[in-house]
Structure 1
């Protein structure tokens, strides 16, 4: 059993912290910006809750974070009440936030100055993966820090891998999102094309999903897309945040992301349709023929 802290109890962090307590049997103290949610978590799982990130991190061997963006991460890490103020030398800070690679490198340097280990560890698998403890975790950092943290991270994951030095986890997550963006756009175009041709989409998917066109998106999203149902899954506003980081990193490293940039534009159009909180598969909504 390890003494741990978890900072950020959103749709992902809440169940992830729960798995650390219930599945791993770890001593977990949580903090959340909305204190009532931390109190609810503590009541549900039997852990403790703290008034500040620093208080939660005090004495913890492993501190986990899962918040919104770079600014949110900085707001809970730095300052007199931040996690670094509460962490002791030899402890490990694990950031599950999908953030920039630049921030990961910054945090690694800041942690190093205090003798704290750092792992950037963004996740893939969505809310369902978090709730079921089946996330894929992409890590960047030192091998020794990773080896020590891996058994704890595995409480909420089905796969945990070290991708390289600090920032490599975030770069891997960006590559993941780039792939998803292209896949969902292609699937949307195919379904719209089939609908306009009068095809039985279920029959088509049952065949092509078993061939070279098959993907997780096809297997898990074709039906809700065909039914025009998007009130679930990974929100478009979150995906646009991620794609924005991909495009910014591409400028930095000299990559060309023409399809990613185009799909991001398409997502902005779906947002204008009122779909900011719709699932990323809602790209199909902008391709549907207007009702007669």
Structure 2
């Protein structure tokens, strides 16, 4: 499939090779060209607008500001070829998602939201979980691309907002799991129970899930080398709190996590893995 990919950060760089391996023709654009140049089997683009001349555009950008700058303010969306399908894979706010849906309709571009659950190592293995929502025909068109990068695609209907909210809520739960793990390890260690022993028990019994296993190990060993950076984790918790406020939904645990994240960043941990906030 004739595909363009915008945003070659750690996630994008891990995702694109799976598209190439599946036989898709892939062109890429990144603000910093070096990561794009390091990819094999792709064509390099000189501007975001060039990406929207392809049949499908996949975007994996850092935050709302990056999405707005690259997709909207650049004029790329307005200059899209007729019949183009845009798949937004970034974690963005519900407010921006709604705005993008309207802008795409005006531009005659089909809009699909398809954010992902997984870290770069999971992406490289083609084992992401992708939550996807958008027009039925557009979803059918891009599904082979999503399946090339994932272990499962979870369709959530025609409203792109549902996929964005699912991703925000899921990341909020991971952040709360990190808080729970940190508190439990601290309690056990205060009585002489090794954190590694406790994590081994709970992640193989009560909480045998990838997130508990991944972040429990980090907390037990104190290994906070960057995976998903704390600053990005705070961005996602902020998105959850803002989304809740917009619908009068109170999220007290998320508010506590937000405070702990701010404290950790103030201690200089913003560039570490987001599980580091549990030690703040």
Fold in common (TM above 0.5): yes
**Number of residues paired by the alignment?**
279
Among residues 24, 30, 54, which one is paired with 1:26 in the alignment?
24
Among residues 232, 241, 244, which one is paired with 1:238 in the alignment?
232
Provide the C-alpha distance between the structure 1 equivalents of 2:189 and 2:126, rounded to a whole number of angstroms: 36
TM-score (norm 2): 0.94
1:118 offset after TM fit, Å?
0.4
Instruction: Tell me the residue number matched to 1:174.
Output: 168
Q: Secondary structure at the match of 1:12?
A: helix
Among residues 251, 257, 261, which one is paired with 2:251 in the alignment?
257
Provide the C-alpha distance between the structure 2 equivalents of 1:232 and 1:176, rounded to a whole number of angstroms: 20
Q: Secondary structure at the match of 1:136?
A: strand
1:86 offset after TM fit, Å?
4.3
CA contact (8 A) 1:98 1:122 kept: yes
Q: Secondary structure at the match of 1:242?
A: helix
Provide the C-alpha distance between the structure 2 equivalents of 1:228 and 1:38, rounded to a whole number of angstroms: 33
Instruction: Tell me the residue number matched to 2:48.
Output: 53
Structure 2 vs 1, CA of residues 4 and 93 (structure 1 numbering), >3 Å: closer, same or farther?
A: same
CA contact (8 A) 1:104 1:166 kept: yes
Instruction: Tell me the residue number matched to 1:192.
Output: 186
Structure 2 vs 1, CA of residues 123 and 276 (structure 1 numbering), >3 Å: closer, same or farther?
A: same
Provide the C-alpha distance between the structure 2 equivalents of 1:53 and 1:82, rounded to a whole number of angstroms: 9
Among residues 146, 163, 170, which one is paired with 2:139 in the alignment?
146
TM-score (norm 1): 0.90
CA contact (8 A) 1:108 1:166 kept: yes
Q: Secondary structure at the match of 2:86?
A: strand
Instruction: Tell me the residue number matched to 1:17.
Output: 16
Provide the C-alpha distance between the structure 2 equivalents of 1:204 and 1:244, rounded to a whole number of angstroms: 30
Does residue 268 (structure 1) correspond to residue 266 (structure 2)? The answer is no
Q: Of the two, which has the highest radius of gyration?
A: 1
1:260 offset after TM fit, Å?
0.2
Among residues 80, 85, 89, which one is paired with 1:92 in the alignment?
85
Provide the C-alpha distance between the structure 2 equivalents of 1:219 and 1:11, rounded to a whole number of angstroms: 21
Provide the C-alpha distance between the structure 2 equivalents of 1:112 and 1:132, rounded to a whole number of angstroms: 34
1:66 offset after TM fit, Å?
0.7
CA contact (8 A) 1:28 1:48 kept: yes
Provide the C-alpha distance between the structure 2 equivalents of 1:29 and 1:77, rounded to a whole number of angstroms: 16
User: What runs of 5+ residues in structure 1 fail to find an aligned partner?
Assistant: 287-292
Does residue 107 (structure 1) correspond to residue 100 (structure 2)? The answer is yes
Provide the C-alpha distance between the structure 2 equivalents of 1:28 and 1:57, rounded to a whole number of angstroms: 13
Q: Secondary structure at the match of 2:188?
A: helix
Provide the C-alpha distance between the structure 1 equivalents of 2:95 and 2:276, rounded to a whole number of angstroms: 30
CA contact (8 A) 2:196 2:221 kept: no
